[in-house]
Amino acid sequence: MTDDNTSLRSHRLHDARLAYRRSGTPDGRPTLLLLHGWPQTSWAWRRVMPLLSRDFDVIAPDLPGFGDSSKPESGFDKKTIARRLHDLVEALGVRQVAIVGHDLGGHVAYAYAAQWPDAVSHFVFVESSLPAFGQEEAMDVSRGGSWHFGFNMAGDISESLVSGREFLFVDHFVHRETVGVFDADSISRDDIEVYARALARPGALRCSFSYYRTLPLDRKDNAVWGRSPLQTPCLAIGAQWGYGPASAHTLRRVASNVTERLIDDCGHYVPEERPAEFADAVRQFVLQR
Fold of 4-288: Rossmann fold (3.40.50)
pLDDT tens-digit map of 38-69? 999 999 999 999 999 999 999 999 999 999 99
Reported as a pLDDT band with limits 50, 70 and 90, residue 179 is: confident
The HSE-up count of residue 236 (CA atoms within 13 Å, CB side) is: 26
CA–CA distance from 241 to each of 50, 53, 86, 250, 272 (Å)? 25, 28, 32, 17, 14
Q: Of 286, 229, 240, 243, which is closest to residue 266 (Cα–Cα)?
A: 240
Cβ–Cβ under 8 Å, residues 14 and 87? yes
Q: Collapsing DSSP states into helix, strand and coil, what is residue 238? A: strand
Indicate if the pLDDT at residue 4 is higher than 50: no
For 154, residues 6+ apart whose C-beta sits below 8 A from its C-beta are none
Average pLDDT, the chain: 94
Distance CA 79, CA 77 (A): 6
The pair phi, psi for residue 100, each rounded to 5°, is: -125, 120
Q: How confident is the model at residue 180 (pLDDT cuts 50, 70, 90)?
A: low
Average of per-residue pLDDT across 5-9? 78
- Write down the pLDDT at residue 15: 79
Give the start-to-end residue ranges of the domains of the chain: 4-288
